[in-house]
Structure 1
Amino acid sequence: MRIASFNINGVKARLPRLLEWLEETRPTVACLQEIKSQDEGFPAHEFEKIGYHAIWHGQKGFNGVAILADGVTPVEAQRTLPGEPDDDHSRYLEADVNGVRVVCLYLPNGNPVPGPKFDYKLAWMERLRARMQALWALEIPCAVVGDFNVIPEDKDVWSPKAMASDALMQSESRDAYARLLGDGWTDALDTLNPRGGVWTYWDYQAGAWPRDHGFRIDHMLLSPELADRMTAAGVDKEYRGREKASDHAPVWVEVAG
């Protein structure tokens, strides 16, 4: 079973690239972030043509998440992150697929620092931890995947100095992410690439892609029940280099069974 995550940066603008990736790599589950589409405009029929069924949580112009599954319909388990009734951002979606609870998230960026956007990011991460603790208590196979907008360690960025003032690298962001791992979740990519140097994002500006000036912010966190079944994890880096690509590359984890 391959579970993948892809910040697509506009599902309509990147649809040809997204369909290519789905058909060429055929993940069992594909979690999308930044679909930037209202619910009624989501191109579900295009995915159905190639055998994928979808659920989605959209928003006009920005944010938005979706979960696609090959040959089966994801069974929605939770829409929106609990803990703040007034939060209307479309950033969180949960579904059951083939006996696995899959969480798709798009964590707030948090820039500029300091400021209300950074405060929102940290509060969102605390709510996420509470939800993940509740999922942990269920003792079920679970994958929490998506764009976390956190560079966990210096080894996860091409230049720590270049990103030092960014919300993605602040100690508060890193500490909040580390607390998730401390609760017992397994960072799939980091576990299989402990020396770092694995990027999932390259900015459109300043020649970041051709110079390989990237960093790792797309993560796949596994519960013990799923981590025990992990066989491989990686980044589909080549898709970042295609025409009209997203600024993220897809990430994936394979689990037995």
Structure 2
Amino acid sequence: MKIATWNVNSLNVRLPHVVQWLASSAVDVLCLQELKMDQEAFPLSTIEQSGYRAFWFGQKTYNGVAILVKDGLRVEDVINGIPDYDDPQRRVIAATVEDVRVICGYFVNGEAVGSDKYAYKLDWLARLEAYVAQSLERWPSLALLGDYNIAPDDRDVYDAEAWKDKVLCSEPERAAFRRLIGMGLTDSFRLFNAEDKQYSWWDYRAAMFRRNLGLRIDHILVSDPLKERAAHCEIDKAPRKWERPSDHTPVVLTLKPA
């Protein structure tokens, strides 16, 4: 099974990219973030024509998440949002695909350390941690995919000194990431890639992609049963080179059969 995450930064704009990438990548599960569209506006027929089923939690203008699943795979227990958390922002969707619990999250950006949005981010992270802990009790084979808006350590930042103590790299955010790891989750990319300068997001400005000045903020964390099945994980930079790309690019994990 191949599972992937991709912040498309507007599915309206990037729909042709998603269709093209699905055809070339042959992933079984694709988690999307930043749909930026109402629930009713989701392009279901186009996704279905590509050979995938879709489960989504949309929101106009910003946010919105989806899980696309290749036809023929069993899907159960779809849940929108974090249960018992009255969050006006639609950032989480989960489903069980075959034997794997997939949680797709568009983590809060936080704007700036000390801001109201940063406080919301820390609260949101705490709510997510509790949700993941509960989910692990029910579904031991779990993958948490998404745009985390957190660069876990200095290897994941093109200029660690410039980003020190700033949003995406601040200690409270990194501590939240470590708490997820402490639950028994593993950063699947780092199972296969120890090098620095491996990024999944590059600002549109100042030729940042061409200069490879980015951050690794898109992650696939997996529980121990999936860690044992992990065969390969990579950042696919190809879509970032396409015309009118998202500022993020997909991260793909290949799992061996159970």
TM-score scaled by length of structure 1: 0.96
CA distance in 1, matches of 2:196, 2:129: 24
Residues 205-247 of structure 1, C-alpha deviation per residue, up to 9 Å, x if partnerless?
1211111101100000101111111000001112101111110
SS of 2:205's partner is: coil
- Describe the superposition over 1:113-146 as per-residue Cα deviations: whole angstroms up to 9, x where unpaired: 2111001111111111111111222252111100
Aligned to 1:92: 92
User: How big is the alpha-carbon RMSD for the aligned residues of Structure 1 and Structure 2?
Assistant: 1.2
Residue identity opposite 2:249 in structure 1 = A
Pick closer, same or farther for the CA change 1:104–1:142 going to 2, 3 Å. Answer: same
**8 Å Cα contact 1:82-1:127 kept in structure 2:** no
Q: Which amino acid is the alignment partner of residue 59 of structure 1? A: Q
Partner of 1:192: 192
1:32 to 1:49, Cα distance in 2 relative to 1, 3 A: same
In 2, the alpha carbon distance for the partners of 1:4 and 1:149 equals 16
Q: Compared with structure 1, are the counterparts of its residues 166 and 102 closer, same or farther at alpha carbon in structure 2 (3 Å cutoff)? A: same
The change in CA–CA distance for 1:112 and 1:88 in structure 2 (over 3 A counts) is same
Q: Secondary structure at the match of 1:121?
A: helix
Residue 173 (str. 1) matches residue 179 (str. 2) = no
State the match for 2:10 in structure 1.
Answer: 10
User: Does structure 1 residue 44 correspond to structure 2 residue 44?
Assistant: yes
- Off by >4 Å, runs of 4+ in structure 1: none
Report the Cα offset of residue 88 of structure 1.
1.2
Which deviates further from its counterpart, 193-202 or 25-34?
193-202
Distance 1:127 1:83 in 2: 9
Q: Describe how 1:44-123 pairs up with structure 2 within 5 A.
A: 44-72=44-72, 74-85=75-86, 87-123=87-123
Instruction: Flag structure 2 segments of 5+ consecutive residues without an equivalent.
Output: none
- How many pairs were matched up? 256
Which position in structure 2 is the counterpart of 1:235? 235
Supply the distance in 1 between the matched residues of 2:75 and 2:236 (Cα, whole angstroms).
23
Whole-angstrom distance in 2 between the partners of 1:104 and 1:181: 17
TM-score by length of structure 2 reads 0.96
